[in-house]
Structure 1
């Protein structure tokens, strides 16, 4: 998330800590309610070598680090990515939630993927506008600027029957999507884990599910061969403050694939305004059935949507722009 671009600039060296080195520390952390304790302990032991700490997933691996910042035992600036909002556990006004909130307030700079999520975090953490103006930043998360250069949508034959592809984890609403496809009759290919769609689930004949581990290049081939990609996000997940679905949307932009996606208030790319797909605002089986029929009826417009998506990739959403924006934030932090 920025390492390559930051280092290519010649101004930064970015070291990535190994995911896990001492499993017993993580077991101890689980008992103490400090996830990823091992990685954080190793970061503290090495921190004197660095000018800043960078946490792309601050909700997961920051509890020890933020506690030390709170106690003024850690002075190095911490920069975090804001793609998931601050989360309370159960009742808001518990001691545990107050401690978590205080810990999350210790970060020096926040880089947000979403303007609405930036505003939500400001309100959740009780920061003043003056503080936000100095420490909150909006950045454009985008796909790798080199990897996708040679990956474009597969040219379709004249008799091509459009089919849709859906991939993702348990934040996807597969049950609703399958029910909608049973009504519309067009083909759907799903790539997910057993938790997403059980292999024992009875499927309509036009829906196939691959529960195996699929390498990304293979998934890309499925994306490229499809008519469009579907991103169905569960209401309970999208409304609590996150950017789930944004990474897949970025993949589609880079590959030039039309998108049908649950309307997501915390995703800033307006797929209808950019004419790269359609929002589904009625997140029900009926709403999806209507949206699918409309999307399949627009198959003649897919080539234009594909070109619009690739233009967005070339000009506005790619890792080079993201890296430049992060570089400016690190300079401010340091």
Structure 2
């Protein structure tokens, strides 16, 4: 079985630096008897030109392909449309990071229904996304699959094994924030301003999407207990950032309200490293951190709620330690890359065995 894996960011050259869950199981498929050809397009600019270019390159590629697997539809929309019309014969399996598009316009709904018929399997992180997508009326529920994507425990175990610090060795204990996407830095920083004895380390990129994180954080450089480091986009930073999380007391995931699982990667990283979590109460998360006793949820924009949670874990470190232990056990049992990759391989074999155009319901 041969799979072409389409990805927008990381390439095979990045594999030695990054945890492999960023590759959505593709790097593990060979161990399940499936060969993978990586196709990466991180280009910016016109999405229309990108989808035309990618369609041409994939259609003219002579390498054997049984299934097209993609971490996003961004850039392969034309191939999906061709598949929906019976003009591309390879099954398409993609990750959908939000609920599918909806519209009250009948013509638009008809076009969306035609487009989504070009996707054989649509993987989602959240049951909420599946339910919202099914209610849209433009995609069949039987094409939607909730998947337990999770962290690369082998990667994090190497980080843990290489760590030389112990609780007694550490000069200081701190809270860590290492996300860059749609983070609510003002709420987080204002909470720590109310707790001058608690240290917060923030690691983020200068810009992500339309957010200028560096500009936002420049307002808080005078806070003595808040340390800000702007990182570049080099994939080699992953190991450094993981070690910083490992040496912390707790992972803080303070995010803006969005209609997707913003912060999920940071959540899984903390659990893999046995760290307690304080997180914005994102209803799209597949895990309820309080129900699982791995962390504390705080409402969006709730400075006082963040202060209370930080203060509680700072004063109850044995609770934070137990939360970290619980989180690690949960990802070992249910949410990790090895389990997901085995599941993915079975899905690929199932669809790869079926040739030809899609029927309305297959």
TM-score class, shorter-chain normalisation, is: 0.7 to 0.9
Residues 159 and 217 of structure 1, relative CA distance in 2, 3 Å threshold:
closer
Tell me the secondary structure at the aligned position of residue 111 of structure 1.
Answer: strand
Distance, in Å, in 1 between the alignment partners of 2:115 and 2:304 is 43
Partner of 1:228: 250
Tell me the secondary structure at the aligned position of residue 150 of structure 1.
Answer: helix
Partner of 2:301: 283
| Bigger shift: residues 274-283 or 49-58 | 274-283
Residue 279 of structure 1 and its aligned partner are, at CA, apart by 0.9
Distance, in Å, in 1 between the alignment partners of 2:90 and 2:136 is 25
Residue 98 of structure 1 and its aligned partner are, at CA, apart by 6.3
Q: Deviating runs (4+, > 6 A) in structure 1?
A: 94-98
Aligned mate of 1:197, from 214, 237, 251: 214
Once the two structures are superposed, the pairs formed by residues 96-175 of structure 1 within 5 Å of their partners are: 99=111, 102-127=114-139, 131-133=140-142, 135-152=143-160, 154-157=165-168, 161-175=172-186
User: Contact 1:174–1:197 (CA<8 Å) still a contact in 2?
Assistant: no
Partner of 2:60: 45
Partner of 1:181: 192
Distance, in Å, in 2 between the alignment partners of 1:202 and 1:4 is 40
User: Contact 1:224–1:255 (CA<8 Å) still a contact in 2?
Assistant: yes
User: Contact 1:112–1:137 (CA<8 Å) still a contact in 2?
Assistant: yes
Task: Give TM-score scaled by structure 1 length.
Answer: 0.84
Tell me the secondary structure at the aligned position of residue 35 of structure 2.
Answer: coil
For 1:275-315, what per-residue CA distance to the aligned partner results, in whole angstroms no more than 9, with x for missing partners? 21111135322222222222323322222222222222322
User: Contact 2:54–2:76 (CA<8 Å) still a contact in 1?
Assistant: no
Q: Gapped runs of 5+ residues in structure 2? A: 1-23, 207-211, 353-362
Residue 182 of structure 1 and its aligned partner are, at CA, apart by 0.8
Residue 57 (structure 2) pairs with residue 57 (structure 1): no
Residue 211 of structure 1 and its aligned partner are, at CA, apart by 1.0
Residue 255 of structure 1 and its aligned partner are, at CA, apart by 1.0
* Aligned residue pair count: 315
Distance, in Å, in 1 between the alignment partners of 2:187 and 2:299 is 14
User: Contact 2:251–2:270 (CA<8 Å) still a contact in 1?
Assistant: yes
Higher strand share: 2
Residue 39 (structure 2) pairs with residue 17 (structure 1): yes
Distance, in Å, in 1 between the alignment partners of 2:213 and 2:183 is 7
Residue 184 of structure 1 and its aligned partner are, at CA, apart by 1.9
Partner of 1:262: 280
Distance, in Å, in 1 between the alignment partners of 2:38 and 2:91 is 17
User: Contact 2:205–2:231 (CA<8 Å) still a contact in 1?
Assistant: yes
Partner of 1:296: 314
Distance, in Å, in 1 between the alignment partners of 2:340 and 2:97 is 14
Residue 226 of structure 1 and its aligned partner are, at CA, apart by 0.8
Distance, in Å, in 2 between the alignment partners of 1:18 and 1:120 is 30
Task: Give TM-score scaled by structure 2 length.
Answer: 0.78
Residues 315 and 226 of structure 1, relative CA distance in 2, 3 Å threshold:
same
Distance, in Å, in 2 between the alignment partners of 1:287 and 1:35 is 44
Residue 215 (structure 2) pairs with residue 207 (structure 1): no
Distance, in Å, in 1 between the alignment partners of 2:147 and 2:245 is 26
Tell me the secondary structure at the aligned position of residue 172 of structure 1.
Answer: coil
